[in-house]
Copies of this chain bind each other. A is one copy, B any other.
Amino acid sequence: MNGAESLVHTLIDCGIEVCFTNPGTSEMHFVAALDKIAGMRCVLGLFEGVVTGAADGYYRMQDKPAATLLHLGPGLGNGVANLHNARKAKSGIVNIVGDHATYHVQYDAPLTADIAGIATPVSNWVKSSHSAREVAKDGAEAVAQASTYPGQIATLILPANTAWEASDGAAVKVTPTAAPKAPTERIEAIAKVLQSGEPTAMVITGFALREKALETASRIAQATGLHLFGQTSNARLQRGRNRVALKTVPYPVDAAVETLRPYKHIISLSAKPPVAFFAYPDKPSALYSPESTTHTLAHEDEDCVQALEELAELVNAVKAAPVIQTATVADLPNEGALNAKNIAATVAHLLPENAIVIDESITCAPDFFNMTQASAPHDWLQICGGSIGAGFPLATGAAVACPNRKVVALQADGSGMYTLQALWTQARENLDITTILLSNRAYAILKHELNNVGAASGSQIDKHTNKIALDMMELDRPNLDWVAMAKGMGVEAGRAADVKSLITEINKGLQNEGPYLIEAVF
């Protein structure tokens, strides 16, 4: 058995069921091993950002890692942005990155690069295997690292000769370190804050956003007067009808500061104290009042659900009733040209039971989030690292993880262009994804941000092109034709510019069992 085979056997034995791949020459023995050994589903992405983003979506819905297969430093480089997003989402991923044979690196061949250097900024654990006999053990360690609560990026670099040389066979599974418990004294101190009666908010993310944990949090809120908020962006929030309705901290700094101003205490759970996405001249970085005190109930690597339960006991909230959503979803709009509000209302009304919603809707996000508060129960997945181009891949990975659930992707056009290659994977794997492509033909968020940062302008026309620099915020000239691009990658698609056709198209997508893209032009 060669090193590659020992690694594939080990990954399977450690519970890895899916490998998202974009291989090259140096990974050929690993590919041959995947082909020869039963038990791993291989999903090809035509660009590595698709591969790493899909692995992120898979983890969020399975709570266990998938593997990726990437081609040396540049292949890993193409996956960096979505690994960044995955790391910020606390997703677990096992990256297998091929490298030149150990003895070949010294020759500085064209593809030679500092792979560990590229991996380090986006990984919690990086290792390059030294020999075929160590690869299996390194693979078992990589899975344990990726599975370490709440989820980590583990990057295993696989020199080509360690794949083709002889191994000692598969390695045994390594049990990941269990999540440490938040110390009781800390929880007791927070219980005292809650019992003080002083205005207090708790900002939550991570596993505390699952249905049952949120009910516990809501019980605590009911018993103590605590106010609950989700982080601005979250890896996975369970919400909708019959669930706790959670507000999130707004993205615009002024609104966020206004929201958190009243609180004397800010408690973080699985999160850092809330901060602005970006700095702006004359606006604060921290979103809470400078007079407030910050506390942490459980750090990101501590068991947040247990901390919540312990806190519930201490404040006598175990028997309190959680506040369950009673609102009803708005009526389906009738007609009219599309805008952010009526697109959101339409989606909210038609959202099927148990859907997985991928939100990369950017400027449309607040409308979608508000309107779907009382929709059928669903999971809500957002970009956590702020790097656009996560949406299509997250949808792809979530659909691979949950073949029996409908994925609804709310996808802005500018962001979608980063990783549109994912559509081909959706077609090849016949994934059950309906994409609402929000075609406003601009980097609309940047137009807002140009105002936010107070950057004045007085456009000069370029002598070569007769254009102005601010044209770089427009995606028209030419317009992107998403229906053509989707069909070009084998995904059925339709266009809607008014409410009636949007309803028809969404119903078509939802009835379809494979991928369907709707270009909503507004």
Name A residues whose Cβ lies closer than 8 Å to a Cβ of B: 21, 23-26, 28-29, 31-32, 34-38, 40-42, 44, 46-47, 49, 72-75, 77-78, 80-81, 84-85, 88, 100-101, 103-104, 107-111, 113-114, 117-118, 120-122, 160-161, 164, 233, 272, 275-279, 281, 285-286, 383-387, 389, 403, 414, 417-418, 420-421, 424, 427-429, 445-446, 449-450, 452-465, 467-473, 475, 477-485, 487-490
Given contacts A23-B446, A28-B455, 17 further A-B contacts (CB under 8 A): A21-B472, A25-B445, A31-B450, A31-B469, A32-B455, A35-B457, A38-B462, A42-B471, A46-B417, A74-B387, A78-B78, A104-B275, A111-B386, A113-B385, A117-B121, A428-B478, A485-B485
A49 to B489, CA, bound (A): 20
Q: What 6 A-B pairs come out closest when comparing CB atoms?
A: A478-B490, A77-B80, A74-B387, A484-B488, A32-B455, A101-B279
Cross-chain contact of A449 among B25, B120, B389, B457 (Cβ < 8 A): B25
Nearest CB of B to A479, in Å: 7
Nearest CB of B to A297, in Å: 18
Given contacts A31-B470, A277-B110, A278-B26, contact A78 B104 (CB under 8 A): no
Kindly report which residue of chain B lies nearest to residue A449, judged by CB atoms.
B25
> Is the beta-carbon distance between A35 and B285 smaller than 8 angstroms?
no
Cross-chain contact of A107 among B73, B272, B445, B482 (Cβ < 8 A): B272
Nearest CB of B to A72, in Å: 8
Q: Within the oligomer, what is the number of copies of this chain? A: 2
Nearest CB of B to A248, in Å: 13
A240 to B194, CA, bound (A): 80
A113 to B454, CA, bound (A): 25
Kindly report which residue of chain B lies nearest to residue A413, judged by CB atoms.
B46
Cross-chain contact of A34 among B44, B286, B469 (Cβ < 8 A): B469
- Of the candidates A452, A483, A488, the one having the most CB atoms from chain B within 10 angstroms of its own CB is A488
Cross-chain contact of A23 among B80, B472, B485 (Cβ < 8 A): B472
> Is the beta-carbon distance between B122 and A113 smaller than 8 angstroms?
yes
Nearest CB of B to A334, in Å: 31
Kindly report which residue of chain B lies nearest to residue A21, judged by CB atoms.
B472
Cross-chain contact of A278 among B109, B445, B461 (Cβ < 8 A): B109
A473 to B24, CA, bound (A): 10
Cross-chain contact of A36 among B110, B457, B481 (Cβ < 8 A): B457
Q: Please indicate the chain B residues that have their CB under 8 angstroms from the CB of A107 in the complex.
A: 272, 275-276, 285-286
> Is the beta-carbon distance between B117 and A414 smaller than 8 angstroms?
no
A38 to B110, CA, bound (A): 39
> Is the beta-carbon distance between B477 and A482 smaller than 8 angstroms?
no
> Is the beta-carbon distance between B121 and A276 smaller than 8 angstroms?
no
> Is the beta-carbon distance between B80 and A446 smaller than 8 angstroms?
no
Q: Please indicate the chain B residues that have their CB under 8 angstroms from the CB of A485 in the complex.
A: 484-485, 488-489
Q: Please indicate the chain B residues that have their CB under 8 angstroms from the CB of A85 in the complex.
A: 74
Cross-chain contact of A285 among B49, B103, B279, B445 (Cβ < 8 A): B103
Nearest CB of B to A457, in Å: 4
Q: Please indicate the chain B residues that have their CB under 8 angstroms from the CB of A452 in the complex.
A: 25, 28
Kindly report which residue of chain B lies nearest to residue A24, judged by CB atoms.
B446
Q: Please indicate the chain B residues that have their CB under 8 angstroms from the CB of A450 in the complex.
A: 28, 31-32
20 contacts between A and B (CB under 8 A): A23-B446, A25-B278, A32-B455, A44-B472, A47-B418, A73-B84, A74-B387, A77-B77, A77-B387, A78-B389, A78-B418, A101-B279, A107-B272, A110-B384, A111-B385, A113-B121, A160-B453, A420-B420, A483-B488, A485-B485
